Amino acid sequence: MTPETPFQPLFEPMQIGPVKAPNRFYQVPHCTGMGHALPQTLAAMRGMKAQGGWGVVCTEYCSIHPSSDDHPHPFASIWDEGDVRNLGLMTEQVHAHGALAGIELWHGGTFVSNLASRQATLGVRSMPSRTEPIQSQRMDMRDIRQLRQWHRAAALRAREAGFDIVYVYPTHGYLISEFMSRSLNQRNDAYGGSLENRLRLTRELIQETREAVGDRCAVAVRFSADGHGDEHLSAAEAHDAIGMLGALPDLWDVVVSDYYGLEMAGSRFAKEAALESKVAYVRQLTGKPVVSVGRFTSPDTMLRQVKSGVVDFIGAARPSIADPFLPTKIREGRYDDIRECIGCNICYAHNFRGSALRCTQNPTMGEEWRQGWHPERVPAGPNQSVLVVGAGPAGLEAAMVLGKRGFAVSLAEAGGEMGGRVSRESRLPGLAEWARVRDYRVGQINRMANVALYLGSRLSATEVQDFAADHVFIATGSRWRADGTGRTYAAGIANLEHARVFTPDDLMEGKIPQGRVTVFDDDHYYMGPVLALLLARSGAQVSYVTCEGQAGAWSHYTGEQEATHAGMLAAGIKIFVNTVVSSYVDRNLELSCVFSGNTSAHQADALVLVTSREPNDALYRALVGEDPDPGATSIDMIGDCAQPALIAHAVYAGHKAARELGGTPASGHLARDRLIV
């Protein structure tokens, strides 16, 4: 990088107490779905980010004691010497690339139920658990002293494990923030009442953590700049609290109170740098380095944040997952090579589901250790030709990876544009940023002389055979079913007037019904709610029917369900929950309660079925039949034509097939992680 490069300020070192970060790129604590159970997987993933140029790389929330057990959700822990050795794997890999390693010490308080440890859930008062029919135990002075001892012991173990930054974590509703709450904290001792008293525990933990780690580690505090809601800690009180505590930590990691609606919001609901107006005051108030997030993907936005004094460090979770090498690419001026986060929150959803996180944009995420995948490197391939049929997410990813490996690639697309379902879906309300899945891959492919693109090329089985490629990948996608087949009706809805039935494909192709339109959502993710919004904005009177208890119920895992439901209500959409469509004939729609079976009659000029998809596998079947010969020419299905699923699944399938082509045949065996004890 030359001194004239405009982004040079992002690569200037920054002192954080006794340690120095090599640059301003800071991977803040974020969940992984790996936690204490997958130490090798976790270490390799974090280490990859350090290799990619992130100057600080942190853990997820890390439990300090068995009374903070978030089972079945995977979480990190630092309870004993075994945890020290496990976490030491991470610090070693992070340090190997010159980055600092941070650890977020955490006690969940009433948020956890301790299903595995069976210890009492602790809280500032006895309140119901967020997930189980139990309540927390009110902490007395002995419990507070124990908590302080546990926290100090965890800080000492963190130092032993090699961490450079140790967090105190009084936010996001966990135990320490319970003490700050006016409504929860009803104590009449030195830890309750005034704001100063409610901050006492936070102050003590910061001071005791500093005493424990000495001049070896920096102390960071993660704090909500606008409080925790007026009933707990108002924005004015948060401002005062930061002023009162400002000089104590070495760094402030600043978040906001609206976790799902703003801090972690998907791109459907919040754009880049959405936190700026709420966090900008912290740096001036404290005089200490500040880091904050904003799903930053634009180098220009990052530079503006630093130069204007909003933050000292560009905080990132999701962008660092989508592209672990984002800092390196900015440093080298390779801006078009950045895999920009699309804000789909599939990463978060899989941690929420208890599995290692994954990413729509980055199919190597979580596979760094168990499959040895690198996000920027693929093995060279043999001098052979490959025909990829279909330029949706699976076909584009396969063609791109094959091109990087050196194969002679022909990519044939039946339609007039690249991207398949990604292109169609990105034109729906709120999904514009999802087009980055297409744009990144098309941009990469367009620079490869060994990859030829053919639009408007619908190939028959004979034409595929006549092409005489060494290998063929069929990536022809899928179509939404028009008969109602799905989770509720395995054989479809018996009584349908098909002339008035529409599918998501119809709407994405511009066939927009008018009048009274009912959407039956048996898919439960984004498609049904997004189409309902599309119809409402087109002037239709929209009803939305789902057999679940909420609109877009699966989007609970992506953190988008509440905003989804609220947005539909605001658009005037009538929502029927715990209900299914049982028949639709001559504008007469019959709805049935999933519990009682009671029916009700409604009028609808059109019915949109969002139920399931039919794989477009006819070309593959015509080529190989129903019993493929393993010794025949290499012909494989990838993506939705093999398994209709999320876009992330299609990208992963294309990547895996292309990465492994010409090597050892995949056996399905994956390296299994083991705890160090």
Largest CA distance in the chain: 84
Buried b (16+ CB within 10 A) or exposed e, 585-604: eeeebbbbeeeeeeeeebeb
Residue 664 burial (10 A CB sphere; 0-12, 13-18, 19+): exposed
What is the secondary structure of 138-194 as a DSSP string?
EP-HHHHHHHHHHHHHHHHHHHHHT-SEEEE---TTSHHHHHH-TTT----STTSSS
Report helix, strand or coil for 352.
Answer: helix
- Structure-derived torsion over alpha carbons of residues 169, 172, 178, 180, reported in degrees to the nearest 10: 70
Are the C-beta atoms of residues 592 and 494 closer than 8 Å to each other? no
Are the C-beta atoms of residues 184 and 178 closer than 8 Å to each other? yes
Are the C-beta atoms of residues 370 and 671 closer than 8 Å to each other? yes
Q: What positions carry a catalytic annotation? A: 174
Are the C-beta atoms of residues 635 and 623 closer than 8 Å to each other? yes
Separation between Cα atoms, residue 401 and residue 362, nearest integer Å = 12
Report helix, strand or coil for 369.
Answer: coil
Residue type for position 179: F
Structure tokens at 292: 């904050």
Are the C-beta atoms of residues 238 and 226 closer than 8 Å to each other? yes
Separation between Cα atoms, residue 8 and residue 294, nearest integer Å = 20
Structure tokens at 616: 């477009």
Half-sphere exposure of 350 (CA within 13 A, CB side): 18
* E strands present in 18-160: 19-21, 25-27, 56-63, 76-77, 100-106, 122-123, 137-138
Separation between Cα atoms, residue 510 and residue 562, nearest integer Å = 28
Residue 412 burial (10 A CB sphere; 0-12, 13-18, 19+): buried
What is the secondary structure of 238-281 as a DSSP string?
HHHHHHHHTTSSSEEEEE-S-IIIIIS--TTT--TTTTHHHHTH
Separation between Cα atoms, residue 453 and residue 412, nearest integer Å = 6
Element (H, E) at 218: strand 218-224
